[in-house]
Amino acid sequence: MNSPEPPFSITVERCFSLGASTYQRSASLQAAVAARLARLARPLASSLPPGPRADLGAGSGLLARAIESKLGGPSLLRLDACAALLQQEQPPEHGLQRLWDLNQGLPVELDGASLLASSFALQWLEQPEQELSRWRDALRPGGALLLAVPCRGSFRIWHQAADAAGVPCTALPLPDAQGLMQLAASALQLRHCQLLRFSRPNPSARAFLHQIKAIGAQASPAARLQPGELRRLIHHWPGPEHAIVWHVLVLVGQKR
Ligand SMILES: C[S@@+](CC[C@H](N)C(=O)[O-])C[C@H]1O[C@@H](n2cnc3c(N)ncnc32)[C@H](O)[C@@H]1O
């Protein structure tokens, strides 16, 4: 008898653990977006109220470090479900990292937060819209939300190749940008809100799937492709003239 599949959040954590040692040198898009988000939030630095600050799904701390360097002020608490990724930040600052499953909402000490930041993490949660509402509601008046999240419409060539091959698409289902924007706008003054389009080279299906694995982002709620299905997907994968495109919502808002 087959053993039952673990809950999806356990699979996500295992995949990020396996990719933890190569995350920092492979996550170039994530590093660029973290730097951009911190730059966009800089004008808010002097108007933020006192209160806790956190990076939600911090991984190796790319975004937390970018914010600390651009905005100054108190350090950010790094929350993540993956111990191996948190440990990539060396030396870890004492008391600043917390192993935490964001599917449970936020820890109580973040009630009345001054700054909540998150990059490339919300899409891994079971209910991204519900969790975003909780993050928004945890901010105190004047507190800031800094969010970057890949959205529906990304990886079109992967979906098209899977359709053409007649195999399931194992890309992670991504949230709808409009829905996330509306949730944020209902209680935040949006200082910046843009759906950015990042194109990355597409050398081959194998190279792309390898890149995804190098950052531990290969978990999927869909069943793993059988070897024959994978061969068909690779056969139908478009050539390098078709780029890999990410649609990333980048949003900076301040609680009214
Ligand atoms: C692609 S990484 C992004 C890490 C970091 N924010 C960055 O920009 O480099 C996604 C992160 O989300 C974390 N994550 C996924 N599901 C989570 C959950 N349920 N609770 C907490 N963290 C989670 C992963 O462990 C991983 O560190």
Tens digits of residue pLDDT in 174-206: 999 999 999 999 999 999 999 999 999 999 999
pLDDT over 60 (residue 172): yes
Q: How confident is the model at residue 95 (pLDDT cuts 50, 70, 90)?
A: confident
Q: How confident is the model at residue 2 (pLDDT cuts 50, 70, 90)?
A: low
**CATH code, domain with 102:** 3.40.50.150
Q: Whose CA is nearest to atom 25 of ligand 1?
A: 82
pLDDT over 80 (residue 4): no
The secondary structure of the chain, three-state, reads CCCCCCCHHHHHHHHHHHHHHHHHHHCHHHHHHHHHHHHHHHHHHHHCCCCCEEEECCCCCHHHHHHHHHHCCCCCEEEECCHHHHCCCCCCCCCCEEECCHHHCCCHHHCCEEEEEEECCHHHCCCHHHHHHHHHHHEEEEEEEEEEEECCCCCHHHHHHHHHHCCCCCCCCCCCHHHHHHHHHCCEEEEEEEEEEEEECCCCHHHHHHHHHHCCCCCCCCCCCCHHHHHHHHHHCCCCCCCEEEEEEEEEEEEC
Cα 16 → chain centroid: 12
Cβ(30) – ligand 1 distance below 6 Å = yes
Please report the atom of ligand 1 found closest to the CA of residue 215: 1
Tens digits of residue pLDDT in 31-88: 999 999 999 999 999 999 999 999 999 999 999 999 999 999 999 999 999 999 999 9
Distances (CA, A) of 155 to 10, 33, 38, 86, 202: 24, 17, 25, 27, 11
Q: Is 3 among the domain residues?
A: no
108 CA from centroid of ligand 1 (Å): 20
What domain range includes position 235?
8-255
Cβ(37) – ligand 1 distance below 6 Å = no
Please report the atom of ligand 1 found closest to the CA of residue 62: 9
Cβ(139) – ligand 1 distance below 6 Å = no
pLDDT over 80 (residue 234): yes
Q: How confident is the model at residue 92 (pLDDT cuts 50, 70, 90)?
A: low
pLDDT of residue 5: 81
Cβ(145) – ligand 1 distance below 6 Å = no
**Average pLDDT over all residues of the chain:** 96
Q: Is 1 among the domain residues?
A: no
pLDDT over 60 (residue 1): no
81 CA from centroid of ligand 1 (Å): 7
Cβ(58) – ligand 1 distance below 6 Å = yes
What is the distance in angstroms between the CA of the first residue and the CA of the last residue of the chain? 55
Decide: pTM greater than 0.75. Answer: yes
pLDDT over 90 (residue 120): yes
Domain count for the chain = 1
